[in-house]
Amino acid sequence: MKKIYLDYAATTPVDKKVVEEMLPYFSEKFGNPSSIHQFGQEAMEGVDKARSQVAEFLNCSASEVIFTSGATESNNLTIKGLIKATQVENPHIITSAIEHHCVLNSCETVQKDKMAEVSFVKVNKEGIINPEDIKNTIKENTVLVSVMYGNNEVGIIQPIAEIGKVIKEINQERENQKLPKVYFHTDAVQAVNYLDCNVESLGVDFLSLSGHKIHGPKGIGVLYVKRGTKIKSVQQGGEQEYNLRAGTHNVPGIVGIGKAISLVLKNRKKMDETKKLRDYMIDEVLQNIPNSSLNGSKEFRLPHNANFSFQGVEGESLLMMLDQEGIAVSTGSACSSASLEPSHVLSAMGIPPEIAHASIRFTLGKETTKDEIDYTLKVLVEKIKRLREISGM
């Protein structure tokens, strides 16, 4: 049986070059970086190198790079750490209705605990936020705007640089009015492989990313924190990561994410090929499968993502039938795959529950071939026809 992986938005295979870079730090260079002796300093050299690699990619200072266990922790630290540090009474957060659950749940938690109030900005039917809606939602007590760069379910790209300009202009006005600064955070987990992540051009104060989405290891992430930003640690322990993230460094993971991010620009050379394959798949599906639709904008979409709805088909059933044929896909975010609720992202885009439940996400990678897509298309047509016959459509 063929084995075809089309779920790269969930996780990616670790690049062999990344594995090679990590291996010595498991048993040869095993010291604790916090130790002063030579074993510790040898490990710290690996941490420092990785920090510089990430900083070079993001165009920031190495001291602005904080290593975490992943983007979920990075997003939690941003929201809760900023609220903990702010001196604004009843601070206000703005986020979007289509964020990853770790952002939505963190915002809902601080709101439930009466630590902050939260506004959830809507998206249009293509899944895109209007920067003017952000501007119009900002209040005197607003301290944070958090908008993801590329959506994990439908791959829609948000106008982060434009939002950054809006916030910069507002902050310039607030300086004269002696109002608190509005900080800007973006969850760039899905975007790093494909989009410009220069923090200066984006205009962000915080940026989150995760190793396992960029052919690095799981269990390691980064939070960029712009120098001078008010934020406090949300866990107690040692003084690691500039007193922002207590706990012994995951040295192999840190080395791995450093190497992985250093390879991103080289891997982008294959991006045009991936986008052509993705577009080919979209065209073939829409032409050959009746009552099928692409969810979200085709133009403002990450080049590896194709999210479809197939009327009269239950998404989970189609996923399992494809899996039996060796094809791995997703019904949405891997983090919410156990939920029976319709996708909050598709719901926010105005897609009815019955259509949202009929959605499947295909995400391609640098290893994906046309033969794999052709085989997938062939099986997809057969399985959808079968499922529709069962449902009586």
For domain 4-12+269-391, the CATH class is alpha beta
**CB proximity list for 27: less than 8 A, separation 6 or greater:** none
Give pTM, 2 decimals.
Answer: 0.95
pLDDT computed for residue 176 by the predictor: 85
pLDDT computed for residue 334 by the predictor: 46
Rounded average pLDDT over 359-387: 96
The domain segmentation of the chain, as residue ranges, is: 4-12+269-391, 16-266
Rounded average pLDDT over 283-305: 96
Q: What is the tens place of the pLDDT at every residue in 89-117?
A: 999 999 999 999 999 999 999 999 999 99
Rounded average pLDDT over 225-236: 94
Burial string for 12-47 (b: 16+ CB within 10 Å, else e) reads: bebbeebeebbebbeeebebebeeeeeeeebbbebb
Q: Select which of 60, 107, 197, 335 is catalytic.
A: 335
Q: What is the tens place of the pLDDT at every residue in 171-206?
A: 999 988 888 999 999 999 999 999 999 999 999 999
Q: What is the tens place of the pLDDT at every residue in 322-350?
A: 999 999 999 864 454 555 678 999 999 99
Rounded average pLDDT over 122-127: 96
What CATH number was assigned to the domain covering residues 16-266?
3.40.640.10
Name which of 87-96, 102-111, 135-144, 384-393 the model is least confident about. 384-393
Q: Residue 189 corresponds to which amino acid?
A: V
335 a catalytic residue: yes
Q: Give CA torsion, residues 23, 28, 33, 37, to 10 deg.
A: -170
